[in-house]
Amino acid sequence: MAPIYIFQYLIISLCVQAFGVFVYIVYYTDFLLPTQVLESKVYDYIIVGSGTAGSLIAHRLATETNYTFVVIEAGGASNPLYEIPILGPMLHGSPYDWQYETIPQENACLAMEGNKCKLTQGKIFGGSAKLNNMIHIRGNISHYVNWFHGAHSESYIRQQFDFIEDNIIQLNKLRFTSQLSDYILEAAKELGYEELNNEYKIGFGKPLVSQINGKRWATSDNVKQKHVLINTVVEKLLFKKNRCYGIQLVNKKLFARKGVILSAGAFNSPKILQLSGVGPAKLLQSLEIQLVQELPVGKNLQDHIGTGLDLVLFNYSLSINAFNFFNALHVYNYFSQGKGPLTTTGCEVVGFVSTKSDTQPDIELMVLPVGISADRGSHLRNILRINDEVWNNYFAKLFDKHASTILALILHTKSKGEVYIKSKNPYIPPLIDPKYFTDGEDVKILVTAVKMIKEFIQTEKMKSFGAYLNEIPFPGCEGHKFFSDSYLECYIRHLTLSVFHPIGTCSMGLPDNKNSVVDTSFKVIGLDNLYVVDASVLPTLPSSNINAAIAMMASVFFDSQIKRKNIGQCHKRQRCFINYLSKDMCLKGDILLHCV
């Protein structure tokens, strides 16, 4: 390694380590502080998990009902510095990340240590929305209608999106992009693609992001701290016959009058259910856990996976790089105006394309202006667990170039995995086997998608910008002709990447379907007072980043299962009058009422 790159590595590593020390100090200071004193042991609703779904439900409970509730969060509180978008990846692998990983994969993740892919999930007040790319895209509305098996119309779901986008979620355009984004959009036009809107269709565009004044924003920002118990692990749910009446914490129990709402995510919601006796009978019996309800909890795991890191090269640096954070002007612009490179989400353009000449896309392309070689191996390589051979013989050879990524993701994987506990101890991580690429069709689609990336690089617009293809043979694939189908299959199976969109492990469906864990009202089948509302209930992957779909589902749950039950309940000392025009209408019998 040349001296200049060693110097860069040392400088970046020093800054990474300094921020890491800061993170640990903040985390353990909060962790060691006296825990919040609960107002009660009994609440109308207990929400387990403060991610997008849990926090949205909590916010609407606080602002639209008189119900009492508490949010239980296993992770720590956030910090103003964590809201700087460019620092999002710095929390990956930190105490604010569950630091989950797959079990060794036979058909994928071959470039990673132990053939295990990293599965980042937020362990922080706000959940994974505090670590993600902040992208908000509705996706294909018709898919959501299918999830509910006709219980809700397309018009109703659009209304839900309209409501949360207008009243709950903070959405804004990107406040900074590199030169690459405009060239990509021009290249997309050159290839015949249209501009993308906020919904589902083939095309390219700059996404809306959940930011406010350039700062990361999450639904948890709407929730008051008094309603949240942080650094608190739920050990199990409490049942009396088929009714869930509360939760077990490390040294206390909390009780729910109307419902326990699991919103702990696609890995932790099934884990908590299984620890509580809800899941596959054979698994629970092997761990001597009393069976409460046999359901396919943990099955049907799906994820958006792809490839393409550092595949686009330039002979000069773009306006965003690993050293932006050290620029005093950029720091000033962020804190004074909420602008500049520090506001970057990491993804500047998204595109939806079809590998089958269809009107429905099966691939998402995410344009990332900086590759993982940019930090010289100080952090990004470690959070992905890239092994030494691949790093030294591929990524480390790019230090004299500016590497960017057009990440190709398969939208609807046919390969499905599972999540299951391996112990009765709630502090031991679950085993996660996504079974990536066990269905060969997934590989074929990604092979075509990587060829599409090459088409982009070879457009006149991209060539005029100085872009060219990284032609270093990928370690382990040297025996194949470069960029042949067999080479690309080898490349994909080695450089397998999750964008951390796991879903499906507590799938929604009709009660008589053998794959269903919750019904279309989000209630766990066969059990009362227990609901699951998070990414785990999505039976299939959305045709977009998943955060918008999760927020919509949480809003549907609130309206259909909580607000409807609260209808007709006015605040004390209030009277109800007939009023068909008010936004605050409630229903009592067949008469619309308004509380005043």
The two tokens of residue 151 are 């219980």
The two tokens of residue 576 are 């109800």
Name the one residue in this structure whose structure tokens are 């480390």: 396
Q: State the chain's mean pLDDT as an integer.
A: 90
Q: Is the pLDDT of residue 383 over 70?
A: yes
The two tokens of residue 482 are 């470069």
Which of 242-246, 272-276, 300-304, 375-379 has the lowest average pLDDT?
Answer: 375-379
pLDDT given for residue 567 in this prediction: 54
Which of 359-368, 430-439, 519-528 has the lowest average pLDDT?
Answer: 359-368
Angle at 226 (CA atoms; ends 220, 232), nearest 5 degrees: 75
Fold for 23-98+118-171+210-300+416-431+503-596, please state it. Answer: FAD/NAD(P)-binding domain (3.50.50)
Band of residue 283 on the pLDDT scale cut at 50, 70, 90 = very high
Taking the C-alpha atoms of residue 321 and residue 338, their distance in angstroms, rounded to an integer, is 18
- Long-range CB pairs of 26-34, under 8 A, 24+ apart, other chains included: 26/76, 26/79, 27/76, 27/94, 27/95, 27/96, 28/95, 30/76, 30/77, 30/230, 30/231, 31/76, 31/231
Among residues of the chain, what percentage have pLDDT more than 70? 92
Q: Is the pLDDT of residue 131 over 90?
A: yes
Tally the C-alpha atoms within 13 A of residue 310's C-alpha that lie toward its C-beta. 26
- Is 234 marked within a binding site? yes
E strand segments, 437-500: 468-469, 497-498
pLDDT given for residue 272 in this prediction: 98
Domains of the chain, residue spans:
23-98+118-171+210-300+416-431+503-596, 172-209+305-412+438-495
Predicted model pTM? 0.92
Kindly report, residue by residue over 401-436, the tens digit of the pLDDT.
Answer: 999 999 999 999 999 999 999 999 999 999 999 999
Say if residues 437 and 108 touch (Cβ distance below 8 Å). Answer: yes
Fold for 172-209+305-412+438-495, please state it. Answer: Cholesterol Oxidase; domain 2 (3.30.410)
Taking the C-alpha atoms of residue 266 and residue 273, their distance in angstroms, rounded to an integer, is 11
SS3 135: strand
Q: How far is CA 589 from CA 212, 233, 258, 534, 559, in A?
A: 42, 41, 21, 32, 18
Q: Which amino acid is at 421?
A: I
The two tokens of residue 545 are 């980043």
**DSSP track, 367-408:** EESS-GGGGTTSSHHHHHTB-HHHHHHTGGGGTTSEEEEEEE
φ, ψ dihedrals at 482, nearest 5° = -55, 130
SS3 174: coil
